Structures are given as structure tokens and as C-alpha cells.
Amino acid sequence: MTQDLPPPPPADGASPAPKWFDRPATALARQLLGCVLVRQHAEGEVRARIVECEAYRGPEDRAAHSRGGLRTPRNEAMWGEGGRAYVYFVYGMHWCLNVVARGPGHPEAVLLRGAEILSGQDLVRARRRGRGWPHAMLRGPACLTQGLAVDGSLDGHPLARTPLRLLGGAPGPEERIACSPRIGVAYAGEHAARPWRYYLAGSPGVSGPARLRR
């Protein structure tokens, strides 16, 4: 992939415009590494830096909820405007947070799998009931949503607006972007092997077995 990518927005700037999200989920996933999530709720504000995510492409991706062009009430947000949240419920107990990629009619999304807490650690600890190491409390997609208090009420929410915002950012100079096959999609046949999971190697916020964190 040598195509030119739009530059990430400034780390201290406002949220990216919808246009910034209008590109393949694989390209967007890499640029989301280092970006910052800002979650505001009654108890205060939490800021966390994205260190792991997975791209889910459109109808041709057998691991995606939009495989085969499937369009249901659950995945409706995937079909809408880029830069919104797609939040869904799995395994009868967990929520997962995605960033919608591309524009209306192209159901692609990026699953956020891991983050590092920048501020509001006490609020996250309270939500996670003390589970996890201080810098690993948002490790794993379900841990991330639990720690940031994200659930179905935020499905379709524009990430440029409070109470859940996305701010621009980028990996640090010493950080290495790595990729691997996606986790938990073994059922997807040949698509399961696509290296569409991106992460910052060595970050404590990266999930999965040790060999997939290096």
C-alpha cells in the first residue's frame, strides 16, 4: 500500500471532519493508532490513546458484520456516514466500539481493541472494579467499552461531539506499527488470515496472546 494518505489531524486539534474517515477501513485503522478518545460522563472525563484496532471491510469481507451486503438494524451504523460510532453487543455480555469508515453505502468499520489511559484513571478503575494493571485497564475490546462506559446508547454517535469524541494523534517516534491477522474470526475462512489488525508493538494496552503483542 503506497497510496498517499491524508495526514492525521493535529494531536491537540479538533476532531477530524467526516471526510477524514472516508477511505478504506484498513487505511483508517493505521491512522487511528495514536488518536485520542475523550469520554465525558457524569463522574468526569477520561482520555485514552488508541493502541490497537482491526479493520473490517465491506460486503466481500466474510469476517465483517456487513458480509454479503447484510444490512440489519444492528449494523445500520456501518452503512452510514464515516466518523460515527458503531456499537454492538456480543457473547451475551460485552459491548464493542467501532469507528465507521468510508461514506454512506460502504459498510466498513474499525474495531477499537485496546487503548492507554491518558487521564481519568480513577474513573476507569472504578468502572473496571480494579481489574487489570493501571496501564492495561483498556486492553481488549470489551474492557475498553467497560472502562469508558460505552454501550448501545452511543451506537451511531458522531465522534466529533461530546460525550464521546475522537481527537487526532499519531504514534510516538519510538513506537512501531505492527500488524497481524484479526482475533476471534477463525470462522471467516481465507479472510481470517488477512493482516488487518494493527497495533503499537510493545504497548501495555495491546490485547491478545504475547506473540501477537510484539
Partner DNA sequence: GCGTAGATCGTCT
Partner DNA sequence: GACGATCTACGCT
Point out which residues bind DNA (CB under 7 A).
Answer: 54, 56, 63-66, 70, 72-75, 78, 86, 88-94, 96, 98, 109, 111, 128, 131-132, 139-144, 182-185, 187, 207, 209-211
Least Cβ distance, residue 27 to DNA (angstroms): 16
Find the angle CA(75)-CA(67)-CA(111) to the nearest 5 degrees: 55
* Three-state DSSP state, 135: helix
Distances (CA, A) of 91 to 88, 197, 213: 10, 21, 24
8 A C-beta contact, residue 133 and residue 204: yes
Q: Where are the beta strands (DSSP E) in 85-167?
A: 85-90, 94-101, 108-119, 164-167
Least Cβ distance, residue 133 to DNA (angstroms): 11
8 A C-beta contact, residue 169 and residue 10: no
Least Cβ distance, residue 76 to DNA (angstroms): 9
Please give the biggest Cα pair distance in the chain.
45
Least Cβ distance, residue 2 to DNA (angstroms): 26
Listed residue (53, 110, 62, 65) closest to 84, CA to CA: 110
Question: Nearer to DNA by C-beta: 70 or 160?
Answer: 70
Least Cβ distance, residue 114 to DNA (angstroms): 8
Distances (CA, A) of 161 to 46, 83, 85, 147, 164: 15, 10, 11, 19, 6
Question: Nearer to DNA by C-beta: 9 or 53?
Answer: 53
